[in-house]
């Protein structure tokens, strides 16, 4: 996939109803087909009039000082990541390597999940909850507002949950905690472990 203008909507790696155990088909259809698509379209529209930015990568555009570029580039990157890190079918198991690192840092997988959920619930308004790795390879839990991304702070995302209402409102309404708590069932740990 090309990583500069014109950007295209990355393919959804499964069917719209694949995540049904946690995220209903209609939410995926709207979230992917409308929200994610508009970040792609808006970014292309802006860059159309800025030829000098057309060879910049998505990651470079995420650091733009122009809010509309930064927000839409972040929206594209974050949602590419979100669809990839999930999967349908049986609940997966965390890889041995990552499992060990998580235990070392957070005590246990259960404690890690509790902290990750608390952090995602604590994000006021729209944003994302993340598990990231810093330059020294140290794991950290953090959140970002809007479509900001940890990469802009020099941290590499390993896992990220979208806590914008558009990600869960149809099924969960205001119950963000229920969405975040159920979300583990569709995490593609194999993909996450490879990062």
Q: 140 has which bridge partners?
A: 132
CB closer to Fe ion, 85 vs 162: 162
SS3 161: strand
Segment contacting Fe ion (CB under 5 A): 14-22, 62-70, 97-105, 154-162? 154-162
Segment contacting Fe ion (CB under 5 A): 53-61, 105-113, 137-145, 157-165? 157-165
CB closer to Fe ion, 31 vs 56: 31
The two beta strands, 139-145 and 156-162, are unpaired
Shortest distance in whole angstroms from residue 28 CB to Fe ion: 11
Residue with the CB atom nearest Fe ion in the bound state: 162
Task: Report whether 162 belongs to an annotated binding site.
Answer: yes
Alpha carbons 179 and 173: distance in angstroms, whole number: 9
Write the CA distances from 28 to 14, 35, 82, 104, integer angstroms. Answer: 11, 10, 11, 35
Shortest distance in whole angstroms from residue 126 CB to Fe ion: 8
Under the binding rule (CB under 5 A), the answer on residue 164 touching Fe ion is yes
The two beta strands, 156-162 and 127-133, are antiparallel
82-141: contacts with Fe ion (CB under 5 A): none
Task: Report whether 79 belongs to an annotated binding site.
Answer: yes
Alpha carbons 92 and 186: distance in angstroms, whole number: 8
Rounded to the nearest angstrom, the gap between the alpha carbon of residue 32 and the centroid of all alpha carbons in its chain is 12
Segment contacting Fe ion (CB under 5 A): 43-51, 52-60, 130-138, 167-175? 167-175
Task: Report whether 31 belongs to an annotated binding site.
Answer: yes
Shortest distance in whole angstroms from residue 78 CB to Fe ion: 7
- Before 69, cis peptide (omega within 30)? no
Number of other CB atoms surrounding residue 89 within 10 Å: 11
Alpha carbons 73 and 130: distance in angstroms, whole number: 18
Figure out which of the listed residues 162, 168, 172, 176 binds Fe ion, where binding follows CB under 5 A.
162
Shortest distance in whole angstroms from residue 4 CB to Fe ion: 22
Number of amino acids touching Fe ion (CB under 5 A): 3
- Binding residues for Mn(2+), as ranges, are 31, 79, 162, 166
Q: Which residues would be at the binding site for Fe ion (CB under 5 A)?
A: 162, 164, 167
């Amino acid at each position: 996939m090309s990583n500069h203008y014109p950007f295209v909507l990355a393919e959804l790696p499964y069917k719209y109803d694949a995540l049904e155990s946690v995220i209903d088909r209609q939410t995926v259809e709207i979230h992917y087909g409308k929200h994610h698509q508009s970040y792609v379209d808006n970014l292309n529209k802006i860059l159309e009039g800025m030829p000098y930015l057309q060879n910049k990568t998505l990651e470079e555009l995420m650091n733009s000082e122009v809010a509309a570029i930064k927000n839409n580039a972040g929206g594209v990157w974050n949602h590419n990541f979100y669809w990839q890190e999930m999967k349908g079918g049986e609940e997966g198991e965390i890889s041995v390597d990552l499992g060990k690192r998580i235990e070392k840092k957070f005590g246990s997988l259960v404690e890690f999940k509790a902290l990750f959920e608390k952090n995602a619930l604590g994000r006021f308004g729209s944003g994302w909850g993340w598990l990231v790795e810093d330059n020294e390879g140290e794991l950290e839990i953090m959140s970002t507002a809007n479509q900001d991304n940890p990469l802009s702070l020099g941290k590499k995302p390993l896992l990220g949950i979208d806590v914008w209402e558009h990600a869960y409102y149809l099924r969960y309404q205001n119950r963000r905690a229920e969405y975040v708590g159920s979300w583990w069932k569709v995490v593609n740990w194999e993909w996450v472990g490879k990062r």
